[in-house]
Every structure is written in C-alpha cells, then in structure tokens.
C-alpha cells in the first residue's frame, strides 16, 4: 500500500524533477524496514493456518521435556 501511495504521489507531482532522482533513495530504506515485518507476519500465519503448527504448544512441550529432564537429574543426583 505504501509503495502504491509513493508511486501515486510521484505520478501526480510530475513537475518536480528532484523527486524522480531521489525517489529510490527514499524507497529503499523504508522497504528495508517494512519487508521483514511483512515476511515475519506471513511466516507466522502460514505456520498456524496452513501447516497447523501452533508455536505455543511446541513451547509448552519443550518446557515439559525440560522439567522432566531436571527431575531426572535431581533424582539421579540425590541417589549418589
């Protein structure tokens, strides 16, 4: 949407010759910020909706494994 607005402004403000030269210098830093956020949101949505991967469940399962491992270490440490 931002790129469209930027291009529309460039098309409407055609009389300004400096905008044509400097336009890419404005666009690159802005897109360097916007594109990673959009890609991150896309990955999160694809994982959850398309692949059925729920990261909260995976984190809970990993915490359960860690808890069990600590319990095993405490039991084996107490027996020695």
| pLDDT score of 68 | 93
- What is d(CA 33, CA 29) in angstroms, rounded to the nearest whole number? 7
- What is d(CA 55, CA 65) in angstroms, rounded to the nearest whole number? 15
Entry pTM: 0.45
Asked if 47 and 53 touch (Cβ cutoff 8 Å), the reply is yes
CA atoms within 13 A on the CB side of 2: 11
Location of structure tokens 């905008």? 19
For residue range 35-47, list pLDDT tens digits in order: 999 999 988 888 7
Residue of 42 and 16 predicted with greater confidence: 42
pLDDT level of residue 27 (50, 70, 90 thresholds)? confident
Judge whether residue 24 has pLDDT over 70: yes
Location of structure tokens 């999160």? 44
For residue range 48-63, list pLDDT tens digits in order: 777 777 778 888 999 9
- What is d(CA 23, CA 1) in angstroms, rounded to the nearest whole number? 16
Chain mean pLDDT for the chain: 80
């Amino acid at each position: 949407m931002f790129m469209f607005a930027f291009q529309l402004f460039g098309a409407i403000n055609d009389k300004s010759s400096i905008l044509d030269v400097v336009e890419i210098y404005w666009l690159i830093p802005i897109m360097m910020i916007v594109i990673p956020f959009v890609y991150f949101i896309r990955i999160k949505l694809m994982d959850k909706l398309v692949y059925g991967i729920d990261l909260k469940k995976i984190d809970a399962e990993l915490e359960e494994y860690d808890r069990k491992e600590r319990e095993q270490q405490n039991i084996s440490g107490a027996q020695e």
